[in-house]
Chain A
Amino acid sequence: AQTVTQSQPEMSVQEAETVTLSCTYDTSESDYYLFWYKQPPSRQMILVIRQEAYKQQNATENRFSVNFQKAAKSFSLKISDSQLGDAAMYFCASRAGGTSYGKLTFGQGTILTVHP
C-alpha cells in the first residue's frame, strides 16, 4: 500500500521568486515512481516532473526540480523564477514500479498562489 502526504494546504510566492512544495510518502514497494502534477482551474491534470526511485540524481525540468530524499521518504518540488502561470493546485503522487502501468496514489494537494 502507498500513502502520500502533502502538509501544506496553501503556499504563496512572489513572481520571479523560488518556492518549495513538500511531500512525504510511504510505500512497501522496492521499486516505485514519484510524480508532481499541476491542476489549474481548468481541471486539466498536467505532469510537471517524474522521478524513478532507483535513480539517485534528482529530476529537473526547466524551472522545476525535485529534492528526492529516499531514506526520509521525502519528495519536494522546487519552482524557480515563479511565473503567474504557475498558479495552480499541485499534487504529489506515487506509483508502484515494475511495469508501465498501475494506479497513482495522490496527496491532498497544495494550492500555489503567485503574486505579481
Chain B
Amino acid sequence: GAGVSQSPSNKVTEKGKDVELRCDPISGHTALYWYRQRLGQGLEFLIYFQGNSAPDKSGLPSDRFSAERTGESVSTLTIQRTQQEDSAVYLCASSSDYYNEQFFGPGTRLTVL
C-alpha cells in the first residue's frame, strides 16, 4: 500500500482481556517501530524490529506487552490482561535503509474499561 496501515482504528475492551493490534508497514521498509501515546502526551517508544536483527524491546513497559513481526511485513502488538492504564493510542511506524524518516500509521486508539 501507499502508507503504513493499522487495524483496528479503535478498540474497546474490558479490563483483563487480551488485545492484538496490527501494523502493515510500507512495502520494502526493513524497520518497524511501535510507540504509545497517552492522552495529551508525547510518544513513548515500545519496540522496534530491523531486518533479521533481534528486536529492541527496551521500551516495553511490562511482560504483558509483546510484539512479533513476520519477516519484513506485518507486525502484531499483543497486550495481555489489559489494564486501564494501557488506554492510549498505539502508533506504528516504518522506515527504509536509505532515509532517516519514520513514516507513521494512523494509530489504534485502545480504550480499556
Chain A complexes with chain B:
yes
Task: Please give the residue numbers on chain A whose beta carbons come within 8 Å of chain B beta carbons, in ascending order.
Answer: 4, 6, 33, 42-47, 50, 91, 93, 95, 100-109
25 chain-A/chain-B pairs, Cβ below 8 angstroms: A43-B89, A43-B91, A43-B106, A43-B109, A44-B104, A46-B104, A47-B101, A47-B102, A50-B101, A93-B43, A100-B99, A101-B48, A101-B95, A103-B33, A103-B45, A103-B56, A103-B59, A104-B33, A104-B45, A105-B45, A106-B35, A106-B44, A107-B42, A109-B40, A109-B41
B110 in the interface (beta carbon within 8 A): no
In Å, the complex CA distance between A108 and B38 comes to 10
Least Cβ–Cβ distance between B93 and chain A, in angstroms: 7
B25 in the interface (beta carbon within 8 A): no
The 8 Å CB contact of A91, one of B43, B56, B58, B59, is B43
Q: Quick check: B100 and A100 within 8 Å, CB to CB? A: yes
Task: Convert B49-86 into 0s and 1s, putting 1 for each residue whose CB lies closer than 8 angstroms to a CB of A.
Answer: 01000001011000000000000000000000000000
Residues in A neighbouring B56, C-beta threshold 8 A:
103
Least Cβ–Cβ distance between B105 and chain A, in angstroms: 8
Least Cβ–Cβ distance between B65 and chain A, in angstroms: 15
Residues in A neighbouring B41, C-beta threshold 8 A:
108-109
In Å, the complex CA distance between A113 and B56 comes to 36
Residues in B neighbouring A107, C-beta threshold 8 A:
42
Q: Tell me the nearest residue of chain A to B98, going by C-beta.
A: A100
B31 in the interface (beta carbon within 8 A): yes
Task: Convert B22-48 into 0s and 1s, putting 1 for each residue whose CB lies closer than 8 angstroms to a CB of A.
Answer: 000000000101010000111111001
Q: Quick check: B48 and A44 within 8 Å, CB to CB? A: no
Residues in A neighbouring B107, C-beta threshold 8 A:
43
